[in-house]
Amino acid sequence: MKRIFIAVKIIPGETLSGIISSLRAGLRSERINWTSVSNMHLTLVFLGNTQDDKIKTVSAILREGCQGYGEWGFSIRGTGVFRNFDDPRVLWAGIEPCDRLNELQGALVSRLRGSGFRLEERAFRPHLTLGRIRSVNNPDDLRSVVKKFSDIKIQDVNVSEVILYESILQPAGPEYLEIGKYGLK
């Protein structure tokens, strides 16, 4: 059994790297588990603990389901927190609305559900997790630092493939191993 998810890999450019550095510096007194830049990704579907034989099914669905989308792109814009500033849990960078991204994600979810996979029911809210917030000493600092980048265009991302990852939880943070890559052409 493996803990798996489907994602688009993100290679941070200069602006995204700079914003992450600024956030880390401005929030250094807060307890935040920061996402490693080498682990940056946009999750399309989280499947969780999955039997090995079912992973083969996921792979077949991705091979077929990704064909014909072609290369396209989206933009990363702004920063914020999930839950809210009074009870923050996740620090994120946002994704500008992108029909192609929503179509691909919806089609993959539909195919997976049609093959018997039980997936989360919550709406797709595309984002990059920059850090998981453990506790905040100064909520006003958090609000101020995050709002500084809340409406900045950060980076364009070109998408030509999706990746099936295994997530291995480690004390120092998760390790992501590529199980397969699936081209969109």
What's the pLDDT tens digit per position in 63-89?
A: 999 999 999 999 999 999 999 999 999
Which residues are annotated as catalytic? 41, 127
Contacts of 170 (CB under 8 A, 6+ apart): none
Q: What is the mean pLDDT of residues 93-109?
A: 97
Beta bridge partners of 75: 156
The topology under which CATH files domain 2-183 is: Cyclic Phosphodiesterase; Chain: A, (3.90.1140)
Please give the structure tokens belonging to residue 164.
């099936």
The residue whose two tokens read 């409406």 is: 151
Where residue 171 falls among pLDDT bands split at 50, 70, 90? confident
pLDDT for res 169: 87
Residue 58 corresponds to which amino acid?
V
pLDDT for res 103: 96
Q: 8-28, pLDDT tens digit by residue?
A: 999 999 999 999 999 999 999
First and final C-alpha spacing in the chain = 30
Q: Is residue 127 scored above 80 in pLDDT? A: yes
pLDDT for res 107: 96
Domain layout of the chain by residue ranges: 2-183
Please give the structure tokens belonging to residue 154.
């950060």
Q: Hey, is 9 helix, strand or coil? A: strand
User: Cβ(29)–Cβ(180) under 8 Å?
Assistant: no
